[in-house]
Amino acid sequence: MLGRVTCFAEGMQLWKLAASCGALMLTAGAGATIEDDLSSVLPFGPRVTGSAANEQARSYFEAQFRAMGYTTRRDVFTYPRFDDLGSDVRLGTRTLTGRALEGSTGGAVTGRIVRIPGVGTAENFRAVNVQGGVAVVQRGQLPFLDKVKNALAAGAAGVIVVNTEAKELQGRLGERVPLPALAVTSVAGAALQEGQQVSLNVRVRDGEVQGVNVVAFKSGLIRPDILFGGHMDSVFRAPGANDNLSGTVAVLDLARRAVNTPLAARSYFVLFDGEEDGLRGSRKFVQDNPGVVQNLKAMFNFDMVGVDASPLNVSGEARLVELARQTAQLSGSARDQGGSDQVPFAQAGVPTLFFHRGLDVNYHQPSDTLADPQLIRATVDAALTTADAALTPVPASR
């Protein structure tokens, strides 16, 4: 029932609607498993903050928490983001993939190629006539912003920056410039011949994005002792099975395993949004919930725990790391490793513990489609053991 209501409210495409409603109705409830969670959410696709898939995934997670008897709350926030929606260069019948420089204006322009000598200084631009043409300039030495501004001043209709390597280049201008500008690989750059007609298609979206954290807890709990968190968003083009459906599902499974134990009455379970855009959700949570944050005895964060790039590792506050070593036999280090959602909590003085299995080869790639339920389950086991130890009062010494 809940599934049906949620699905119709989404207004999604029919096949997706059928798929997600089916999944919700089949698996909502305390009886769902890590396997169910993975197979229900992965087909939604990349959960980029602000996307339909991100919202579909959130609805699924909320339904799971509620079916277990938890209350869920949505914390909504916004922030600016620049997105390349797919930019390219067309040369006759050939299409070369490009990446818009962050700050570039969108648009489609056609003109002749003018190869700029040097690295694109104002002097380099004065040496050629680029009026109405598409400037092709080498990467290096000069900031992208200077190259693009010089092209604008010289009357170019657009700019292509050529990388020095055969790799995609994700460049930033640092401010908005009213000229379409993108970067191509060195290989694509070599195909751009002086005087050829070329069309430059820069498709960008530059605006506010809405992020939504989900907070699940037992009704009435306002001062939790522990917060279990993981980010539910992923990057463009990456389905984010390991980064970070694995950690999200670990948090959901912790809630499932804790539900009929005293731990449920002491815990917040938080699915952060906007992590990939700069820890937006966790920063917002820490900022907006000072009472909760000040009271926390521990914050456990889970990011990339579904692929064993390296064995499960914990890092963070020395005492928690030691407890994880002793009680769950984990390897650990007191130095916090990695920029994930534990960082704003640690900065606010909360003892944190970061659960991580290293960066696998599919990190931030379209091939991030695998997460092993057994590894997630083992992570949950270790976290429960450690949480139990962390929340047990230390007996007074005699």
Q: Which residues bind Zn ion (CB under 5 A)?
A: 243-244, 303
* CA distances, 334 to each of 74, 260, 314, 331 (Å): 32, 32, 8, 10
CA distance 382 to 367: 28
Identify whether 244 is preceded by a cis peptide bond (ω within 30 of 0): yes
User: CA-to-CA distance for 137 and 148, rounded, in angstroms?
Assistant: 9
Q: How far is the CB of 288 from Zn ion (least distance, A)?
A: 22
- Please tell me the distance from the alpha carbon of residue 233 to that of residue 274, in angstroms, as a whole number: 6
Tokens of residue 81, six digits: 């983001």
Minimum separation from the CB atom of position 338 to Zn ion (A): 9
Nearest alpha-carbon partner for 223 in 274, 140, 157, 293: 293
The answer to whether the beta carbons of residues 126 and 196 sit under 8 Å apart is no
Q: How far is the CB of 235 from Zn ion (least distance, A)?
A: 9
Q: Cβ closer to Zn ion: 180 or 306?
A: 306
Which tokens in the block code for residue 247? 């950690």
Count the alpha carbons within 13 Å of 261 in the hemisphere toward its beta carbon.
Answer: 10
Closest CB 392 distance from Zn ion, rounded Å: 30
Q: How far is the CB of 275 from Zn ion (least distance, A)?
A: 6
User: What radius of gyration do the chain's Cα atoms show?
Assistant: 25
Q: By C-beta, is 3 or 281 nearer to Zn ion?
A: 281
Most distant CA pair in the chain, distance: 87
Which residue, 70 or 228, has its beta carbon nearer to Zn ion?
A: 228
User: Closest distance between Zn ion and the C-beta of residue 305, in Å?
Assistant: 10
Cβ closer to Zn ion: 102 or 243?
243
**Least distance (Å) from Zn ion to the CB of residue 391?**
26
Q: Which of residues 12 and 53 has its CB atom nearest to Zn ion in the complex?
A: 53
Closest CB 335 distance from Zn ion, rounded Å: 19
**Between 125 and 285, whose beta carbon lies closer to Zn ion?**
285
Nearer to Zn ion, 84 or 360 (CB): 360
Helix (H, G, I), strand (E, B) or coil at 214: strand
* CB closer to Zn ion out of 157 and 241: 241
Contact partners, residue 306, CB within 8 Å, separation at least 6: 241, 242, 245, 246, 247, 249, 357, 370, 371, 372, 373, 375, 376
Please state, in angstroms and rounded to a whole number, the distance separating the CA atoms of residues 332 and 312.
9
In this structure, the number of other CB atoms found within 10 A of the CB of residue 312 comes to 21
